[in-house]
Amino acid sequence: MLELIVFTSGGVLLALEIVASRVLAPTFGNSIYVWGSLIGVFLTALSVGYWLGGRLADRYPSHGAFCGLVFLAGLLTVPIPAAAPPLLSSLAAADLDSRAGPLLSALVLFFPASVVMGTISPYAVRLSTRSVATVGGTAGRLYALSTLGSIAGCFAAAFWLISVLGVRDIVLALGLLEMALAVVGLVGLRRAGAAAAAALVLVGAGAGSARLAPPEAPGVVYARDTVYHRITVSDEGTVRYLKLDNYWQSALDLEEPRRTVFRYADYMHVGMLFQPRPRHVLVIGMGGGTVPKRYLEDYPEVQVDVVDIDPEVVEVAHRFFGVPRGGRLRAFAQDGRQFVRRARERYDHVLMDAYLRDTLPFHLATREFFQEVRARLRPGGVFVVNVIGALEGPHSRLFRAVYRTLREVYPAVYVFPVEFGPTGWPEALRNVIVVGAETRWPPEEVQARARALRGRVKVPGFDAAVADLYLRPIRTEDVPTLTDDFAPTDALLSVR
């Protein structure tokens, strides 16, 4: 029984660490700072727990006390789902920076339970040791069991649990499992009174947690945790929104489906300036499918391929946002870079909408990836990227790094800040559409091409998008070229 507890507790700890990322993601995203905070907090907790467990085991070498620690570890885990929403809301309102927010959240939510779980292995070593001559073998065996349990918990959470259960249910199940192990251990020790009391607390914790389940937000029509995102579809009035973690991704007016809710989607059509007769288009990042759906509707000769890493996002776009299945659209659930690398087709337009405000997949922002995209373009093809950032100032570093990197790959790079206008404030956060093309034209030629396309490009905001062509110099000397070897995207996103 002692060895089973050690193995299972190791699994619970690592499963909790994996699932913890999904607890923080709706507020802080999935940046390197989130993962760094979680790993650092869990390792610190284990260090404290190992030390504390050794001290307690030497002073109170009791199987009953051991079961009490196991029970306490579960008892500290069970309240996490109830405590997380108000804590994360308050920290989000405090507007902490991208490092402090996830670090403080991880400390408050996960440090106490992890410390107690850390006491279990050294305590078990003390209880299992029969002589000094075998203490090394005993310690090695029990720590190996704990590590094997951690491996099992890691794989179970990452490959299975998150796909079939909600994050709240997983955390509750982990805490209740730990408490149940302690009850079974007390029964094995024939401590009926303690076992009965612990069982009552276990049942009460489970029932109380069920009653404390937070209600779904008003208007939510679909919500699910996947291995990549917390997906939420909600209706507000006549508009349906798609949210991935804490980021608004797409929107659809249910009464006027062709109306553009998020204006940047109109700007994604500026690739028509440079290749006005596309036959085959690739869109990286499905979201709610606003861009590929409009391409299908407005350009009847175009074949559209869409790739998104999350198969559930693809399914949500079909079910809730009217993206057609089949026909001239092919949807692929795959990493965007892998798809580009393996693709045999060549494209006239490649449109990328895979960046978020606070996080982005760095491997889709490097010089090597941009080169791979260019290799998949037909002669005269264009690469259109939606970047979220500012043109100048402290929020501009990621945009300027992407711009610098694109300029090293494409002969001409054009910038269209969304709704910038003649009096636009360059330090404001906004969507910025960046185009990598083969030919450099003066602004007069760009405007002339836009006039020639008025009967072909039907998005209402196209003229305004072209008029927002940004002509001011863009500083790049203080930002790096992004490469597979060096792409500090999270640092560039944060404000210094």
Indicate the CATH number of 240-493 among 3.40.50.150, 3.40.50.450, 3.90.700.10, 3.40.50.2000: 3.40.50.150
Give dist(CA 335, CA 284) in Å, integer.
9
> Average pLDDT for residues 478-485, to the nearest whole number?
95
Stretch (H or E) spanning 141: helix 135-156
* pLDDT tier at 167, thresholds 50, 70, 90: confident
The DSSP code for 219 is T
Please list, in sequence order, all residues whose beta carbon lies within 8 angstroms of the beta carbon of residue 99, skipping any fewer than 6 positions away.
Answer: 33, 37, 494
Predicted model pTM:
0.83
- Return the pLDDT at 216: 63
Query: What digits encode the pLDDT tens for the residues 401-412?
Result: 999 999 999 999
Tell me how crowded residue 52 is: count the other CB atoms within 10 A of its CB: 17
* pLDDT tier at 165, thresholds 50, 70, 90: confident
pLDDT exceeds cutoff 60 at 112? yes
Give dist(CA 148, CA 154) in Å, integer.
10
Structure tokens at 35: 């993962």
Query: What digits encode the pLDDT tens for the residues 260-293?
Result: 999 999 999 999 999 999 999 999 999 999 999 9
Contact between residue 306 and residue 315 where contact means Cβ atoms under 8 Å apart: no
Average pLDDT over all residues of the chain: 91
Q: Give the closest residue to 417 by CA, choosing from 366, 474, 350, 483.
A: 474
- Return the pLDDT at 163: 78
Percentage of residues in the chain with pLDDT exceeding 90? 70
Give dist(CA 355, CA 369) in Å, integer.
14
Domain ranges of the chain: 2-211, 240-493
Top-tier CATH class for 2-211: mainly alpha
- Return the pLDDT at 48: 97
229-238, 423-432, 437-446: which has the minimum mean pLDDT?
A: 423-432
